[in-house]
Structure 1
Amino acid sequence: MQPLRDAIGNPRRDAVLARRAQRMKAQQEEYQEQLRRAAEQKRAEHEAARPVCAGCGTKFDNDRWESTRFSPEPGHRWHPTLCGPCEDKTLAAQDQAERDRLAAEAAATAEKARGWRSRFRPGQAQGDPGQAS
């Protein structure tokens, strides 16, 4: 059972409803296009803000970028401007420099200690207080 007007049909009403549906579809497509453009612009801005490594110039991956954004200030063993491989190389160079410095200090200390002790050993240099005449 349906009303008589619906059973007979109303061509003008059907045309209005069809135009309204067509307009709504066009508006929906335009809105979806605006959303797509806004998302694309946001992605482009996000990529433009992505930092690059100060050593080699490659862009940071997402994990590295997140760790540099949310981590504390740079420290002795952390370089937020370098990518992982460059940071590893830098840390290895710092470690080697530290080992070289410690070895040089140890050699200097040994040389200084050897020179100081040699004055008290018998039979070394002349005028040595260890040799009594």
Structure 2
Amino acid sequence: MQPLRDAIGNPRRDAAFARRAERMEGQQAEYQEQLRRVAEQKRAEREAARPACAGCGTKFDNDRWENTQLSPEPGHRWHPTLCEPCEAKTVAAAAQAERDRLEQEAAATGEKARGWRSRFRPGQAP
């Protein structure tokens, strides 16, 4: 059962409800567009703030960026300003330089031990 007015219908009320529904749909679409623009702006700001590798200039991926934010202090094998390939090259070059330095020191000590003055060192038998 419904009241007689509802059963007969009210064209003005129906038109007012339709206008209100259209207005709400327009407002909802405008709000969704505003949310999309804000999200796009935040995404653009995030990309602009994304660091780049100091060696090759490529942008960091999300994992690398997150790792540099968690521990930004450089270490022996950690270079937060370099991407992973550049970091691997740098670490390999540093390791090679260390090996070369040790070889040179070993060669220099070996040459000193074989020189004519080595027999005058105390504690060594001739």
TM-score where L is the length of structure 1: 0.86
In 1, distance between residues paired with 2:63 and 2:6?
62
Q: Which amino acid is the alignment partner of residue 46 of structure 1?
A: R
| Structure 2, gaps ≥5 residues long | none
Give the number of aligned pairs.
Answer: 121
- Residue equivalent to 1:103: 103
Shift in Å, 1:117: 3.0
1:28-43 matches, within 5 Å, as 28-43=28-43
Greater relative contact order (CA < 8 Å, ≥ 6 in sequence): 2
In 2, distance between residues paired with 1:78 and 1:8?
79
Give structure 1 regions of 4+ aligned residues with deviation exceeding 6 angstroms: none
- Residue equivalent to 2:53: 53
| Root-mean-square deviation over aligned CA pairs | 1.4
Computing the radius of gyration from Cα coordinates, the structure with the larger value is 1
Q: Does structure 1 conserve the Cα–Cα contact (< 8 Å) formed by 2:72 and 2:80?
A: no
- Residue equivalent to 2:118: 117
What is the identity percentage for the equivalent residue pairs of Structure 1 and Structure 2?
Answer: 79
In 2, distance between residues paired with 1:90 and 1:74?
13
Greater helix proportion: 2
In 1, distance between residues paired with 2:89 and 2:100?
16
